[in-house]
């Protein structure tokens, strides 16, 4: 059974995903640091990706029983990338690992991150601009392109249905209300 959703969010995307999961699964959600779980409490950990890594995950797995991870990044999300990230994070196969697209808001970032991302997004936008010349971009690629180009933007969708279905199948019990 999952007892809580714990999130780590810099600019709001992980918080939004955590709250959406909380609403659909009827499980409370907390910001990381504001929640001290019981030793036997299993949680879903939602955090953002920085330079290919899930921020705070190694600390989270030491302190909590993490049953699933939701990794939020501005890049298009794919199953192969999710599996590679799960393995690189050292998580066993039974831990659910979901990679989803979040937003990007350069103005909400602290200065050092803002500076890093200012040149990084130019590179991302140029790469997608190049791709656009030969093939249409997917909805997620287009969202990444717009975020990179403008320094601000939303993902193609805020969809948690796959995660909800996995949690229900994996931790099915009377505490989870079927809402959809």
Q: Which of residues 44-83 bind ligand FMN (CB under 6 A)?
A: 48-52, 72-75
Q: How far is the CB of 18 from ligand FMN (least distance, A)?
A: 9
Q: Which of residues 79-118 bind ligand FMN (CB under 6 A)?
A: 102-104, 109, 113, 116-117
Q: Who contacts 87 (Cβ-Cβ below 8 Å, separation ≥6)?
A: none
**Residue with the shortest CB distance to ligand FMN:** 73
Paired with 54 in beta bridges are 49
Q: How far is the CB of 11 from ligand FMN (least distance, A)?
A: 3
Q: How far is the CB of 176 from ligand FMN (least distance, A)?
A: 24
Q: Who contacts 99 (Cβ-Cβ below 8 Å, separation ≥6)?
A: 71, 73, 77, 78, 81, 82, 85
**Pairing label, strands 53-54, 42-50:** antiparallel
Structure tokens at 146: 């717009």
Q: How far is the CB of 61 from ligand FMN (least distance, A)?
A: 19
171 binds ligand FMN (CB under 6 A): no
């Amino acid at each position: 059974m999952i007892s809580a959703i714990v999130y780590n969010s810099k600019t709001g995307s992980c918080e939004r995903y955590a709250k959406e999961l909380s609403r659909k699964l009827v499980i409370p959600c907390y910001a990381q640091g504001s929640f001290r779980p019981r030793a036997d409490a299993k949680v879903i950990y939602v955090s953002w990706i920085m330079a290919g890594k899930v921020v705070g995950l190694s600390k989270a797995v030491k302190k909590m029983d993490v049953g699933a991870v939701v990794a939020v990044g501005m890049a298009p999300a794919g199953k192969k990338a999710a599996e590679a990230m799960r393995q690189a994070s050292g998580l066993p196969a039974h831990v659910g690992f979901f990679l989803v697209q979040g937003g990007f808001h350069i103005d909400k970032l602290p200065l050092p991150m803002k500076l890093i991302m200012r040149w990084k997004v130019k590179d991302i936008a140029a790469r997608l601009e190049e791709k656009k010349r030969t093939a249409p971009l997917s909805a997620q690629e287009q969202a990444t392109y717009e975020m990179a180009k403008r320094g601000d933007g939303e993902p193609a969708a805020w969809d948690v249905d796959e995660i909800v279905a996995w949690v229900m199948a994996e931790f099915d019990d009377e505490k989870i209300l079927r809402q959809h």
